[in-house]
Structure 1
């Protein structure tokens, strides 16, 4: 899946703050799941810059799909499924212009054209 800069910006907001607040170390831990080998320390860029750089690097690769599935993993929203569905609906407004849609079917997250 290849996303537009606007959709990537919304995804950054979902990753950094909207689904949960992720500090710099948590962002490194999050993105290292997708093939990066980063460490948090002195001189680390701002959270939004780091996330933008990582999303640009995985845009158009299977790792982006994994990233989106991780952000919307229903297991992270136990007793908050309506909140998860609201995040997905909001993101889908952006994905419309990329001709994609995130679909939750129970505990599964899928993509549709």
Structure 2
């Protein structure tokens, strides 16, 4: 997600609202926007020019996965709801952004009510970052694996992408287990057993009598994905002697499958925590 200096220069004007027809953001609005991405700024006396502030923050996050999140927030239709002056339409603004970021191999595409960023070379995965705190080791681990998956598929290293897809899921499951069970065993490379333990910690055992048949099928399907990723990695990735050479669509399947598992497990953990159903083992 590396943005060129030229893109950053003009994108900063769009973010701050200095480009004609764009929603205007005051200094406090800009601080609030960028603090969502791990910054800890405070709007106070001596605050720099709004455009300069936006430009500096864009430089700081350039090259990170959260650039996609920033671009999505930039074209959030809710920014147009309380406009104090006549603005360009969201579609017109999206077209302006696309004219700019196409040179960075990115584009904004309409997805329901929102615009989302994807790579022009082919969308590999659209990631919803589960946490935005840069200090959160889980987020860092996941972002690193996502970067590796994307870079390796783009460069044609499909074996490596499959390895990283499995590593993404394994890192995620290990992090959840350690949080909920301090006495959990050290990872032994058996991802199927790891998933089974984490599934129990998150109250996702398909054998529960209070779970509907439809959900049981989904949970059984997730177990199959875990087993498939582990087997696919053993047979096709660069971690072992390769018995079958994977193609691009194989690698994309592995990465998208890993994304599905990651999204569901994180959403489940957040939901269970909010409902007070998770009790870490002592």
TM-score by length of 2: 0.37
Instruction: Note the 1:1-113 alignment, pairs <5 A.
Output: 1-17=1-17, 18=19, 19-77=22-80, 83-110=89-116, 111-113=118-120
Report the Cα distance in structure 2 between the residues aligned to 1:37 and 1:58, rounded to whole angstroms: 14
Name the structure 1 match of 2:131: none
User: 1:67, CA displacement in angstroms?
Assistant: 0.8
User: 1:27, CA displacement in angstroms?
Assistant: 0.9
Larger RCO: Structure 1 or Structure 2 (Cα < 8 Å, ≥ 6 residues apart)?
1
Report the Cα distance in structure 2 between the residues aligned to 1:65 and 1:77, rounded to whole angstroms: 20
- On the 8 A contact 2:35/2:41 being kept in 1, the answer is yes
- On the 8 A contact 1:32/1:38 being kept in 2, the answer is yes
Gaps of 5+ in 1: none
Instruction: Please tell me whether Structure 1 or Structure 2 has the larger radius of gyration of its CA atoms.
Output: 2
Relative to total residues, which structure has the larger strand share, 1 or 2? 1
97-106 vs 34-43, which deviates more? 97-106
- On the 8 A contact 2:75/2:115 being kept in 1, the answer is yes
SS at match of 1:39: coil
Report the Cα distance in structure 2 between the residues aligned to 1:88 and 1:28, rounded to whole angstroms: 23
| Count of residues in Structure 1 that have an aligned counterpart in Structure 2 | 111
- On the 8 A contact 1:75/1:107 being kept in 2, the answer is no
Name the structure 1 match of 2:247: none
- On the 8 A contact 1:103/1:112 being kept in 2, the answer is no
- On the 8 A contact 2:26/2:50 being kept in 1, the answer is yes
Gaps of 5+ in 2: 82-87, 121-282
Report the Cα distance in structure 2 between the residues aligned to 1:13 and 1:26, rounded to whole angstroms: 14
Cα RMSD over matched residues?
Answer: 1.8
Report the Cα distance in structure 1 between the residues aligned to 2:97 and 2:37, rounded to whole angstroms: 21
- On the 8 A contact 1:10/1:91 being kept in 2, the answer is no
Q: Which runs of 4+ in 1 moved over 2 A?
A: 74-78
